[in-house]
Amino acid sequence: MYGQAKKAYLNMENYLKSDEDTKPVGKTSGLLGRNKQQDIKEDMQDNPTQRMANLVQRIRKARMEIKNNETTSA
Amino acid sequence: MKPRQLEPSGPVAGMGLTAELGGRPWQSPPKYSTPEQALEYYLPRLTSPDSYDELLDVLELGVPVTAIADSLQTGGVMQGLHTVDVGILILPVLMEMLAYIGDDAGIEYNLGIDTPMDEDKIRDSQIALAMRKARERIPEAVEDAKDGEETEPMMDQVEDTPEPSMAGGLMARRQQ
- What number of other Cβ atoms are within 10 A of residue B65's Cβ? 26
Kindly determine whether residue A59 and residue B88, on different chains, have CB atoms separated by under 8 Å.
no
**Closest CB from B90, B99, B112 relative to A2:** B112
- Predicted structure pTM score: 0.64
Spell out the residues 6+ positions from residue B174 whose beta carbon is closer than 8 angstroms to its own.
B164
Kindly determine whether residue B103 and residue A2, on different chains, have CB atoms separated by under 8 Å.
no
Query: End-to-end alpha-carbon separation of chain A, Å?
Result: 38
At B83 the pLDDT is 95
Q: B38 near B44, Cβ under 8 Å?
A: no
pLDDT confidence bin for B176, thresholds 50/70/90: low
| B105 touches A: beta carbon within 8 Å | no
Backbone angles phi, psi at A32, to 5 degrees: -70, 80
At B15 the pLDDT is 80
For residue A33, the distance in angstroms to the closest alpha carbon of chain B comes to: 31
In the stretch 15-34 of chain B, residues with CB closer than 8 A to chain A read 34
> A-chain residues within 8 Å CB-CB of B35?
48, 51-52
ipTM: 0.74
Window from A40-44, B9-13, B102-106, B152-156 with minimum mean pLDDT: B152-156
Between these two residues, A21 and B159, which has the higher pLDDT value?
A21
What type of residue sits at position B169?
A: G
pLDDT confidence bin for B138, thresholds 50/70/90: confident
Between these two residues, A73 and B100, which has the higher pLDDT value?
B100
DSSP state for residue B7 in the 8-state scheme:
P
Going from the C-alpha of A21 to that of each of A15, A43, A53, A60, B153, the distances in angstroms are: 12, 13, 16, 23, 69
Q: What digits encode the pLDDT tens for the residues B51-93?
A: 899 999 999 998 999 999 999 999 999 999 999 999 999 999 9
In the stretch 111-170 of chain B, residues with CB closer than 8 A to chain A read 112-113, 117
Give start and end residues of each alpha helix (H) in chain B: 35-46, 49-61, 65-78, 84-105, 124-137, 139-150, 155-160
Closest A-chain CA to B117:
A3
Which range among B21-30, B121-130, B146-155 has the greatest average pLDDT? B21-30
From first to last of the 74 residues of chain A, give the pLDDT tens digit.
568 899 999 999 999 988 766 665 545 555 555 555 566 666 666 788 889 999 999 999 999 998 888 777 76
**Closest CB from A3, A5, A62 relative to B100:** A62
Kindly determine whether residue A56 and residue B93, on different chains, have CB atoms separated by under 8 Å.
yes
pLDDT confidence bin for B102, thresholds 50/70/90: very high
